[in-house]
Structure 1
């Protein structure tokens, strides 16, 4: 080693560019030899850093995907959705639905503030037929300016393709599914079984991080009005909210100013009686649709932005944990490398040269770790995308990606190498070479602080993962008010409505179902809400808006709802056509002590309450059930069919019988069904994704911390080899030696738990406050996390501790 050091010194006496290049080359050559000489230490450092960098890179790609949401649209900074604040049921709520006249009104009265105003339907499934090909595709009805406003990338045709009411724009994937390699332009498609429309354009499928990514077709708004003539025939067109409105503000306009101008647009058009709802129109910019989508009491309270911050912080912490490993192990080996530093200084090396050497070693480790991290990211990205519900790719061609990685490497190398470089290069050569150098009684304090920091982060992640899991399970186990098992939902078609009783009899006789019924809103969502309700004792100034579901007579029997008071709907009572069954929340809100038999006035017509049923959970499982009313309506109003499968027959057999019956009456509509319990499970998708990602990152953080702990335990065991040998000779048992080597690490992890628990409790309490239906954090969680952290520590440290304790003391004592 001394020979190379001498050559090392000679090589750096000149200051020419060539000698500087040689100096740099030698730095990395010596750094490589040091890594090769300490293979275990190098593996822990490079492996830990690679995992940390891979996690940070995956999180960085996820965060970038979230922050660039909707940037596909070139007018992203000027597009907004028209929303309304409204006082419903004594609470200020925010909604995206608007009257059909909102668009024309904004164009007429505030035209100079907008470049485009576009009225739209709600996205939904539509049937497309070409020959014997039939597909259900999600689509939307837009006014003609929408493609230009959204700057759709047209592969065929132009953005003016919606001017004809019987035209249609298709996504590239939909056009391929319908026409294969044929040119789809000007071809005719049967739309929703009743309308012949012509293909006037094909647009590129929108990216996964776009709000309209699922739209596979766009039809003209005028066609929606043709399909729904009631929209033009309403006596009170401003009183009903059934559409969406999107705008692009003028180039020099700003959202706040325009929002202030249009604030009273609806309030100025509704009747005096409806002014009690206190409508306030405002613009919600596209830049906030994804990250700031939540409103509470009229205020924007955030949304996915909390997860961007959460995972961004986790990514930084995981990378920091990996850097801590490097710093810890490098400083822990300082005594071993003290003589090396002393010799370098004795033969003329300056401190800056030594600092450069240590940084070269640091950057070599970081570069190697970066290469391995890229390989890890390539391998893990498909799984990561599946868990996160993304379609993220590595942007190899993006200069920003490589710029960020270079900055990433520079900062990581600097962060990981700074402390060891500055610390080791400060050793006094005279003391080191005379053998009088001691690192000092407090030299291990920085390492101990870093270990505490590592496990503080790890314990917080463990606690967070447990709480997220408990919150999801809490909501999953929430009573839903009906029996989910064996329930199937089908979209109703006219042929089914026309033969409903015959089909019901056929399916029951075939043993496929126990019961079936029709309804407007499916069991897992609310499609309709209504106002205009009055009752005895109601505050005249109170504006109400209740979810209302029109159902057939056997609905309650099919879903097996729980009647708390009164009776179910029955064909034996002709008066049930003017009756309501209300849920418990409605009974509580209305305030009747004995609601059965009382009267509700709806739009001037009296309805009798005949029953109170247990709350049926149709919306978010994390929030209260709204006051809901159920009524009997004609079959023509229905949109969904609910079937209770026969539990005595296999599900596959029952579905087969239902499909056969379906095709008997409908030959050109694909048989498409949904299990209610699966649809209910989809409500937890966002939270489950966050929980899974958090748990994976927590496991990786603990793994990185354990790598560092393993390396530290290995070093301590090596450092105390002679002490252990002497203690064994004097009669110390393996258990005593294990306790001696483990107690320091156990103490450090205990301190970590003490620090982590209150911090985790504070931030998790804030997170749970976003949910009305939530768990109470139990002290058991903190005890469990602490015990788990200590067990992990014991397992990690014990291998090295027991290995050292079992070593032959003769070998350790004669090793000089």
Structure 2
């Protein structure tokens, strides 16, 4: 029996090649897209869950309240963690980590490693990072102990054993002993590094007093609680701990800390404080919805075409019922054929997924999966989904066709009925509603990305090369030599560039009442040329000047407009001449600069201060003429090798570096666009199939109309009108839905576009054009057909 069903299924597939192709293609594309999105969502949700103790690991974060603001930071002071461990038996262990970049040298091999991390020796006790060589208990215990990842160790040692060997770290060439080799940290870890340096290098060698600094907030701290400890109960004990150890200093400095615990599993997607690597829960939700939508569209196509074509088999069912076929047997036949189609689509999906997975990994910017068979549960789920779709798509035609009386069919009185037509029209509306929502979403995502990349940032980032000198002793000679290169327009030293981070500084600035007001402010150290070279405008006072070199290097500060507002000044001019104290320096504000975006457009412009500190400038920014960029770069490289020979020649373009902040949003936009295109393509396939079926059903009518003088445009209009009405209904349903979802998405950006009315109009017109183009192909073909052949076939 099953063999017979299978044969009939294959014959029907082959007999209706076009319908079969559209059905299988649409469903394959839909399941493939859904499969990829499911892998992406599962990967994002899996961050840090590979840690066996993840349920007991918490990130310690701080709210710092000053008279000016409350700062929600992901860091804690260096003194908190060791003292918490000593005071609370509920804490089993702690680990502090801090991202760094180091110049690492071994013989003639040198790399500027930007993925390094300082870590306490307890790192391997708290987290499940694996050491291939070395003792996890002691590998990070001694000062200047270093661990390389599998990938990093090959750069310096090849295939030889690195344990016990020495490398030189930083521009000061500090000897460091290799004590371990670790497996590359998992891709779904928000803590990542290729090189680990022992935290004791900092706390015992470079800055031996740092563990006693309660006001120095620079450590990312993780606590491992003992089994059964309630994190919320433990957190309620922290205020007394802070008061005991830091209460006097907090009141004197007017900076009050509140310690909070964040579950490790929540840090990547749910924390608003940032971190080494962060994700977006809203993006996960959006992609999950898109996956459901795409699969829904594919299923609608499949069900629509299956139910539409099933009517053609009414006579076959009538004859089989007359000769004794049971109702259950006929239902099984229809459901079985539908399942066979879905299994074929499943097999094609596997092939497509294997072929496209590398491209998808590249688009997402992560290795979501090394191969489609790396997790067999995904394949099993995919197969079950395909079978379920097949069963659901087969149930309706089976129920309809097995319920009628064979006498009526054999007399030619059977028709699909209004219920079947209503179902198909409803499904088309759902399908195009989803497609229009995705078109609107794509336009809004593109406009937001374009807005961020083209907005006036308040500073010049074009034609700017940035080099890190690591405060090499040859940096001044290098700058002077570079100034003489014909293609170089200007050079300047600084501690930071826009988009590249900043120092946070405890500051006291005179407010509009004449009092020194405490605040923690962003701080750039710059030289005298920085403001001019970066095109930052002054709105009050003056920029730093060599004419005031003695005071500007020791007693002068420039603030931005936002800082002036923070201290109560209604105009920037009022802030000029006011007193400040900051990091041991006292002086006066000499100027107020116009706000510029020194952070991503996702974040609001916050108060910023600048000071001239010539001994703390490691970055050199070089503005170049791009007419002969290759030659200019060669000249700069020659000077670099002459004056800074111990450091590899590396640089970045500031515009590319700044735009890198939007990389995750750009990837989101590309993925969203590609999946929107797939959804629209699947909808068009379904519409093409339904138009083909509709035309087939009206072959006789079209023939008669042509004989009676109907024109080709008239027939095309007749065949298209019904479908276009459905698309119009879809547009009115999709518009409020799209506005709601995209309005929510835009809330993640501090600076964002307004959703304009024309976006919806463009999306509606596009949907109409796409639908009309799809339908017209079949309609024109039918209108141009010879009516004699149509009527003869009837």
Same fold (TM over 0.5): yes
Counterpart Cα distance in 1 of 2:464 and 2:145: 38
Shift of 1:353: 1.4
Per-residue Cα deviation, 1:538-580 (whole angstroms, up to 9, x for no partner): 5979752211111111111221222223222111113223111
> Which is worse superposed, 273-282 or 188-197?
273-282
Give the alignment partner of residue 433 of structure 1, picking from 410, 413, 438.
410
Number of aligned residue pairs: 780
Aligned to 2:30: 52
Which residue in the other structure is 2:331 paired with? 355
Number of the residue aligned with 1:77: 55
- Answering whether residue 608 of structure 2 is matched by residue 628 of structure 1, we say yes
Aligned equivalent of 1:703, options 677, 681, 697:
681
Q: Counterpart of 2:132 in 1: which secondary structure?
A: strand
- Counterpart pick for 1:534 among 503, 509, 512: 509
Structure 2's unaligned 5+ residue stretches are none
The alpha-carbon deviation at position 89 of structure 1 amounts to 7.0
TM-score by length of 1: 0.92
- 1:568 is paired with a residue whose SS is coil
Q: Tell me if structure 1 keeps the 8 A contact 2:100–2:118.
A: no
1:689-730 C-alpha deviation (Å, 9 max, x unpaired) = 111111101000000000000000001111101101111111
Residue in 2 that maps onto 1:598: 577
Q: Which moved more, 1:522-531 or 1:705-714?
A: 522-531
Cα distance change, pair 90–45 in 1 and its aligned pair in 2 (3 A): farther
The residue aligned with 2:526 is 551
Cα drift, residue 368 of structure 1: 0.4
User: Structure 1 residues 436 and 416, CA, compared in 2 at 3 Å: closer, same or farther?
Assistant: closer
Q: What is the Cα deviation at residue 409 of structure 1?
A: 2.4
Check whether the contact 1:83–1:98 (CA below 8 A) recurs between aligned residues.
yes
Q: Residues 286-333 of structure 1: CA distance to partner in whole angstroms, max 9, x if unpaired? A: 21122112259xxxxx96222222111211211111111111112212
- Aligned position for 2:556: 579
Which residue in the other structure is 1:13 paired with? Answer: none
Q: Deviations over 1:334-378 (max 9, x none)?
A: 331111121222222222212211111111111100111111111
Matched, 1:451 2:428: yes
Q: Identify the residue that residue 752 of structure 1 maps to in structure 2.
A: 730
Q: Which residue of 2 aligns with 1:608?
A: 588
Aligned twin of 2:618: 639
Contact in 1 for aligned 2:495/2:525 (Cα 8 Å): yes
> Using a 3 Å threshold, how does the CA distance of structure 1 residues 368 and 511 change in structure 2: closer, same or farther?
same
Query: 1:125 aligns to what?
Result: 101
Give me the whole-angstrom Cα distance separating, in 2, the residues matched to 1:404 and 1:410.
Answer: 10
Q: Measured at CA, do residues 82 and 60 of structure 1 come closer, stay the same or move farther in structure 2, by a change above 3 Å?
A: same
Partner SS, residue 96 of structure 2: strand
**1:196 aligns to what?**
175
Aligned to 2:420, the other structure's residue is in SS state: coil
CA distance in 1, matches of 2:251, 2:649: 46
Contact 2:354–2:372 (CA under 8 A) maintained in structure 1: no
Distance 1:499 1:286 in 2: 42
Q: Distance in 2 between matches of 1:469 and 1:515?
A: 35
Cα distance in 1 between the residues matched to 2:67 and 2:714:
69
Q: Any idea what the Cα deviations from partners look like across 1:78-107, whole Å, max 9, x if unmatched?
A: 222210123357554421121110111111
Distance in 1 (CA, whole Å) between partners of 2:488 and 2:203 is: 37
Mapped partners of 1:596, 1:260: distance in 2: 41
The answer to whether the 8 A contact 1:341-1:427 is kept is no
Alignment of 1:243-642 (within 5 A): 243-263=219-239, 265-268=241-244, 269-270=246-247, 271-273=249-251, 276-294=254-272, 304-391=280-367, 392-396=369-373, 398-496=375-473, 499-500=475-476, 502-537=477-512, 543-573=518-548, 574-577=550-553, 578-592=555-569, 593=571, 594-595=573-574, 597-603=576-582, 606-635=586-615, 637-642=616-621
Q: Tell me how far 1:64 sits from its aligned partner.
A: 1.6
- Comparing 504-513 with 793-802, greater Cα deviation is found at 504-513
| Cα offsets for 1:721-765 (capped at 9, x unmatched) | 110111111111011001000000100000000000011111211
Are the counterparts in 2 of residues 565 and 613 from structure 1 also a CA contact under 8 Å? yes
For structure 1, the 5+ residue unaligned runs are 1-22, 297-301
- 1:139-154 aligned at under 5 Å gives the runs 139-154=116-131
User: What is the rounded CA distance, in whole Å, between the counterparts of 2:33 and 2:50 in structure 1?
Assistant: 26
Deviation at residue 277 of structure 1 after TM alignment: 4.0
The answer to whether the 8 A contact 1:89-1:545 is kept is no
Shift of 1:222: 0.9
Quick one: distance in 1 between partners of 2:169 and 2:250?
Answer: 41
Residue 740 of structure 1 aligns to a residue in which SS? helix
| Range 638-647 or range 731-740, more displaced | 638-647
Contact 1:623 1:771 in 2 (8 A): yes
Moved more, 765-774 or 271-280: 271-280
- Residue pair 2:688, 2:778 contacting (<8 A) in 1 also: yes
Distance 1:664-1:323 versus aligned 2 partners, 3 A rule: same
